[in-house]
Structure 1
Amino acid sequence: MPPSSPREWHKDSYTLTTCPSAITPEVLNSFFATPEIYWAQPLPVSATQSLINNSINFTLLLPPTTPSSSSPAPREAVGYARLITDYTTFAYLTDVYISPVHQGRGLGKWMIRCVSGVLDEMPHLRRSMLVTGDWEVSVPFYEKAMGMRCIGEKLEGEGRLDRGLAVMVRVGRGSGSWV
């Protein structure tokens, strides 16, 4: 069942929120256009809005700024992750991104800990999973940060004979193999 209200976490001056309106299709498409999100390309605005509407969004925001007027300016999104889920037994983590300007501050680890906390609150979750093509950095990161494990062998992918996609999984409390 979808969460009834958005969640928020705070670290230093940053806020991480699950409020869907914290990210616009235009901003998310600007993330998709970066070289860091090598697996995606910008989508039509209506398609991007649909993926926002049908996911648990984790948007990393800068602190609010107060312009000369009395109302604060909109907060700038500098990071993002999303879970595609049935809210009961399965969740797929994708589109994890931190703007390069804000990397190196522990924000990625913190954001993934928050995502893990949401997953841990799903009592019937059997599995969460993700796919990455980055064996050197992302695989060890998700193993350590989330307890993810690779399943199977390195798969051949997209003409790269020596490298493929890492399919990673974490067993949840709803699985018969939960320890």
Structure 2
Amino acid sequence: MMPESELKSWTRRDGQFTYLCSTDPKQIQLDAYNAALESDLLWWAKRLGDDVIKKVVENSLCFGLYMLEDGTADSSSQETPRQTMIGFARIVTDYVTFGYLTDVYVLKEHQGKGLGGWMMECVDERLNTWPDLRGFLLLTTHQSAVRMYQNKLGAQDIQEGKTKLLVMEKQGPAAVRDHVFE
């Protein structure tokens, strides 16, 4: 379960649109996340049952990326702006020493606006509050993503270091069998 101290929200204004990035699991739109799991955005994954996806979110540190429909984030307003989830990132973690980044996406119609990079800046801000963090891992196959993770998270290709690290996997019964990491 996510510690209360990990709850954080950020807003960003871009022209006529306001975007929100939040770690509040209550805001995650499970149907939108599940739709992404069965899309080409997350080619290594597949749709999960409603009870299973809820458990995934409850047991991870999740970053939901939202577009606010009314275009404002006016805190003086009594009404909560309607929001549409347009991106997501999930960290599998103990909230102290280790994190593994997965399920990162921004919907295609919202790509190219710097939102993925901004979401990674939000991730980095949270990670920088963990004084006992030993390691943060992620896997990617796209060069543009490599550059973003290097620039926004300070992540490095560990194959370039002195330690040879092998990525190993034990597939479970629900694994998507046709994925290949090259």
Tell me which interval the TM-score lies in, with the shorter structure as reference length. 0.7 to 0.9
What secondary structure does 2:99 align onto? strand
Match 2:135 to one of 120, 127, 131: 127
**1:26 corresponding residue in structure 2:** 31
**More off after superposition, 57-66 vs 110-119:** 57-66
Q: Extract unaligned runs of 5+ from structure 1.
A: 165-179
Tell me the TM-score normalized by structure 2: 0.77
The one of the two structures with greater contact order (alpha-carbon pairs below 8 A, sep at least 6) is 2
Shift of 1:133: 2.4
Letter in 2 for 1:38: W
User: Identity over aligned residues, as a percent?
Assistant: 32
Shift of 1:155: 6.8
Tell me the TM-score normalized by structure 1: 0.78
Q: 2:123 & 2:4 partners in 1: Cα distance?
A: 13
**2:53 corresponding residue in structure 1:** 48
Structure 2 vs 1, CA of residues 156 and 83 (structure 1 numbering), >3 Å: closer, same or farther? closer
Letter in 1 for 2:55: S
Match 2:65 to one of 56, 60, 70: 60
Does residue 148 in structure 1 map to residue 155 in structure 2?
Answer: yes
Q: 1:73 & 1:145 partners in 2: Cα distance?
A: 28
What secondary structure does 2:68 align onto? coil
Shift of 1:71: 5.8
Q: 1:159 & 1:36 partners in 2: Cα distance?
A: 13
Provide the alpha-carbon RMSD of the alignment: 2.7
Shift of 1:14: 0.3
What secondary structure does 2:120 align onto? helix
**2:74 corresponding residue in structure 1:** none
After superposition, the C-alpha distances for 1:91-113 in whole angstroms (9 at most, x for unaligned) are 11111110111111111111101
**1:173 corresponding residue in structure 2:** none
Letter in 1 for 2:154: G
**Contact 1:29–1:42 at 8 Å: present in 2 too?**
yes
Q: Extract unaligned runs of 5+ from structure 2.
A: 72-77, 170-177
**Contact 2:68–2:82 at 8 Å: present in 1 too?**
no
**Contact 2:44–2:179 at 8 Å: present in 1 too?**
no
**1:167 corresponding residue in structure 2:** none
Q: 2:80 & 2:149 partners in 1: Cα distance?
A: 36
Number of residue pairs the alignment of both structures matches: 158
